[in-house]
Every structure is written in C-alpha cells, then in structure tokens.
Amino acid sequence: MLATLARVATVRRSGLRPGPGSRRGLWTGRPQADTDNVKPLEGVKILDLTRVLAGPFATMNLGDLGAEVIKVERPGAGDDTRTWGPPFVGTESTYFLSVNRNKKSIAVNIKDPNGVKIIKELAAICDVFVENYVPGKLSALGLGYADIDRIAPHVVYCSITGYGQTGPLSQRAGYDAVASAVSGLMHITGPEDGDPVRPGVAMTDLATGLYACGAIMAGLIQRYKTGKGLFIDCNLLSSQVACLTQVAGNYLIARKEAKRWGTAHGSIVPYQAFKTKDGYLVVGAGNNMQFATVCKILNLPELIDDCKYKTNHLRVQNRKELIRILSARFEEAMTSEWLHRFEGSGVPYGPINNMKNVFAEPQVLHNDLIMEMKHPTVGKISVPVTSMDTPLHTN
C-alpha cells in the first residue's frame, strides 16, 4: 500500500518532478496568480525519519510554511514522545502533539528490506530527507546519504545527530540535557552560588531544530541554483556551542572563564529579576540613560551621579552594593505597581509569568501566538506558534 502511496504521490507533484538538469520546486521570482495564498514552501515534500524534538521541531516549522511532511515512525511504538507524559489527552501525549502538527504519519519497519524499499520509493519523490539516527546506522540499512543520492540526486539530505558524523563522541546518542552539559550551557545556567541547572525547555534541541530548518531552506535554494541536492550535517553539540556567543567570546578572546549568574548578566548591571511584594520583575538598563530612568522610577535619584555607578563598567564593579539597594526598593511594592510605574519609560522590563499568565498576556493574544486546531481523536487542541506575516499551514 505504501509503495502505491509513493507512486500516487509522484503523479500529484504538480510539475515538480525534474527532468534531466532541471531546477526543482522553488519560486523563480516571476509573478504568479493568487500569490497572497501561496505558502513559501508549498510544493516541497519532506520525508521525515526523525524522533523526539530537534528533528520534529525542524520539520514542523517547515510544515508550518507549507511543506508536505511525511513522518515515518516505528510500527507499534511510534515516536518515543508518544509515551512521554503525563499529561496526556486521551491516549495522546501533549509533548508529541506540541511538535508534530502538519504531518502525515506512516509506520515503516526500516530494518526490513521491504521497509527500506518503501523509504527509497518515497525519497525518490521528495525534495528533503531528514533523519536523526546515530551516524552510520542508516548507511548500514542502505538509507544513508550515499544510498539516497544514488537514487535521488536532487534530495537535500539533513542528518541531525548528537555530536557530528565523525569524532570521538560521534557514536553517542544525543539527548538535550547531556549535550547542554557537554557544550557548557548547563555550566552557565543556575544560581550564582548554586548547582548547574537544566534550562526549563530543551533549548539545545530547539536551537538545533532551528539551525536545521534554516539549513534545509538554504539547501533548497542551493539546489535551485545548481540542480543538485546536498548533505547537511547538523548536531546538538555544534549548535549549542555556536549559541554560546559572547560567553564563548569572553573565553576565546579574553580567556575569561564563565560562571553562573542566576537571572543576572555578567557584563550589564542592572539586568536581572528583582523580587517584589508578590512576584518578580525583570529590569534591564543597557546604558547610562536607562539607568538614570530606573533610579528616578525607584525614587533613588542620588544613585544617578554617584561616582560608583556613573558608568556600566563601574556598576559591574560595584554590582553587589547596587543590587542590594535596588532590591530593597523593589520589595516595597507589588509587581502591578512597578509595571504601572515603568510603563512608557523606555526601559526594558517585564514580569516573570507562569503559563497561565503567559497565555493571558495581551501582547501574546495580539500576536496570535495560540493556534487552535482539530485533532482526529482528541478534538480541539491549542498549541503555541510563532508570529509572522506569512500565512501558516495548519493541520
């Protein structure tokens, strides 16, 4: 039946099947009819062999932009995250639901020669092939990049791994918490005098998914220019190390070792969460003018011209004393009062919201960051989406 699906999908490609030397499946820049309803990746077909988070997050974002995503899962068990819970809605894991919209799902045993044949038939009619197996595993089954390239040289093949295709750690399985530890992210996350802390969401997985998503779109543009597919190597370790940005720069350029700062910033003061009478408020003063404004709002004008705090460099040097003064003042009023006082000041500020408050936040509602959709077995569900002018494909 799946072989038939593959053949039927070939017929339904609407002209995207290439002839020899042709360029495939991307807009040429010429005006088209009804362009307001054309989704950026409409007509692009993705074969998705990924599980858990980084890969599914990447393909979900591509699906949101109009790509047709065919998700391949293990017969019986499916994606690991189908069992991750609670919470569940009926028999569905909310974790799984959060990163697998806009996908068609099929179950294929890729350890069976017939399953390998089905995957190859599907790959031949797809534009993108995404997988997140340990390096070498798919090659051993006849589904590595070289294998797919022989039958479908047009395919953009993206491999998402824990540590890369080669090297001393390449054969290790890659999970977000471990990669965030090895990459240094966990070393710089947590209270200043406390233990390392795992970020509240899997930021290493999500960053890798976004890198993969961008690389795949760049690969499609490259294929449009050359008529040929390519191989993309994307991994958790490389993605997270790249995201260390100024923290890595501090060490590589100035040999300054990083440390944990809690909610504070190592190079800007004040820039952190302050406890109020009933919650927390995050305030950031990135320049002297903003610092002066903060002092006026807190009715501490004497700090503005204090020789210990006149510049950010001095404020960083005298961090403890300044934060002690500011903290004492913030604790005198409720969060709502501080929000009112900071409104229109030009200083970046905001409360620390729980999930209930996040999704009641007026700007979140204004930006349409909550998407409702109908699930075939559990009914109406809501998921978070990004805010962009491009129309999203939802299913």
- How far apart CA 208 and CA 233 sit, in angstroms, is 11
| Residue 145 CA from chain centroid, whole number | 25
Q: Any bridge partners for residue 237, and if so which?
A: none
The number of angstroms, rounded, from the C-alpha of 111 to the middle of its chain's C-alpha atoms is: 30
User: The tokens of 382 are what?
Assistant: 């809501």
Calpha distance 304→199 (Å, rounded): 35
Residue 104 pairs in a beta bridge with 70
Task: Tell me the residue ranges of DSSP E strands in 200-303.
Answer: 230-235, 271-275, 280-284
- End-to-end, the C-alpha distance of the chain in Å comes to 23
Other C-beta atoms lying within 10 Å of the C-beta of residue 252: 10
DSSP per residue over 258-271, as a string?
A: ----TTS-SS-SSE
Q: What are phi and psi of 230, to 5 degrees?
A: -160, 170
Whether 36 sits among the annotated catalytic residues: the reply is no
CB 211 within 8 A of CB 265: no
Catalytic residue, from 193, 205, 278, 389: name it.
205
- The helix (run of H) or strand (run of E) holding residue 47 is strand 45-49
Q: How far from chain centre, in Å, is Cα 191?
A: 24
283: CB partners within 8 A, 6+ apart = 270, 271, 272, 274, 294, 342, 347, 348, 349
Tell me which residues are annotated as active site: 205
